[in-house]
Structure 1
Amino acid sequence: MPDLFAFPITTRWKPQHPDRIQIYSLPTPNGVKVSIMLEESGLPYEPHLVDIGKNESHLAEFKSLNPNAKIPAIIDPDGPGGKPIGMFESGAILIYLADKTGKFMPQDPARRWETIQWVFFQMASIGPMFGQVGFFHKFAGKDYEDKRPLERYVTETKRLLAVLDERLEGRAWIMGEDYGIADIASLGWVRNLIGFYEARDLVAYDSLKHVPGWLDRALARPAVQRGLTIPKRG
């Protein structure tokens, strides 16, 4: 049985099944990337809810696994060489799990790197920009008298959606006929943008030709629907 108690995070979020991947998360656009990937790949895992509304990600136990104090993070008891490994950053975790399972990542080296660059496109652009739209449109930023920040982020979000829309022309998924981690990385953010952030009209979502169909196809996957609610909120 792997000794996960060498990881300080397990003193607060105690594993009941230490032989399974431990995921510390919340169903946010970043968090659901990992839960969807785990559901899609069929790996056994144990979820732990980290309530960021209560600043639990800033607790010392959590920061021992992710010093950046952001969800999600995982511990894999069967990491490289059969030894436990802890990981943070959702994009890195997606790549790790794809390599571990041999699923949702092309085996061809050129297409593998093409996939990774689209994961980074989400990490570096879609996530930060869509998040700013959410802040300035729905949350505290909406009360700012100066509307130039919102306008800037809306303009950039429209541009990013257009990039994704162009990529999906003639393709069912970001990498073509094969659904993979590039889709898993982005789908939660697009869903959040038009749903929770209430920015559908603001970013002219319905004028897009290919993104809406892609999102509908992704949300029709049973593993995606399950992953969107894991860990269960209290």
Structure 2
Amino acid sequence: MWRPRICQAVEAHGQAGDLARATGNSHTEASTWNNLGRARFKQGRFEEAVVAHTRAWEMFRSTGDRHRAATTRNNLGRALRETGRPREALAAHASARAVFEEVGDPERLATTWNDSGLALAALGRYDEAVAAHLRAVRAYADLDDRHRQAVAANDLGSTLLSAGRRAEAVAAHRQALRLYKGLADHYGEEETRELLTAAGQVTGATGGGQPVAGRPGDAVIRDASGEAGSP
């Protein structure tokens, strides 16, 4: 069902962009380019997403809207990462993060940290990637945004697994599973169980189970959620 809706969204964004151009509303046109980029990203058409987000970023900059430009630049970074350009993605996330730090937007700041972690992991810079994901998990916990905290915890787990830190990866995914269960997000639960399976962890109906080795991962996650010291 979601594919037809995305196709409809693409068509609607195109029509909105045409109207904005016809009326000379550059800010609205920039918004439609950004929305089109997000829709193309969901379709897996990442090169087209890069084109759309780049256009949106340039237009927001021309209007002087630094905040929306930064949001779009971060979206551009995600698309760049998916097209195999993690260095450019990392630069985009860093640029956006600087603006969010300056204007005091903690939610989007947390998002740039998590996206930076994904770009760093794509570059094989796993220690830096883990640190970035941990900052995102902690920030979302402080914001009481449990859904995004779960997403960041799963991204952390995937990065830890890529780094060969299997026990810590399992602990991260277990935290995400607890969060999703608390939110009654069954899709998130199922996705997390698949990640746990990939990490070599078998869970029961309650999401329990033990890490495959040791307990260091639990300490990492406690630190990230603010329940024990800080890294």
Specify the TM-score bucket, using the shorter chain as the normaliser.
Answer: 0.3 to 0.5
- Which structure is higher in RCO with an 8 Å CA cutoff and minimum separation 6? 1
Q: Compare CA radii of gyration and give the structure with the larger one.
A: 2
Q: TM-score normalized by structure 1?
A: 0.35
Higher strand share: 1
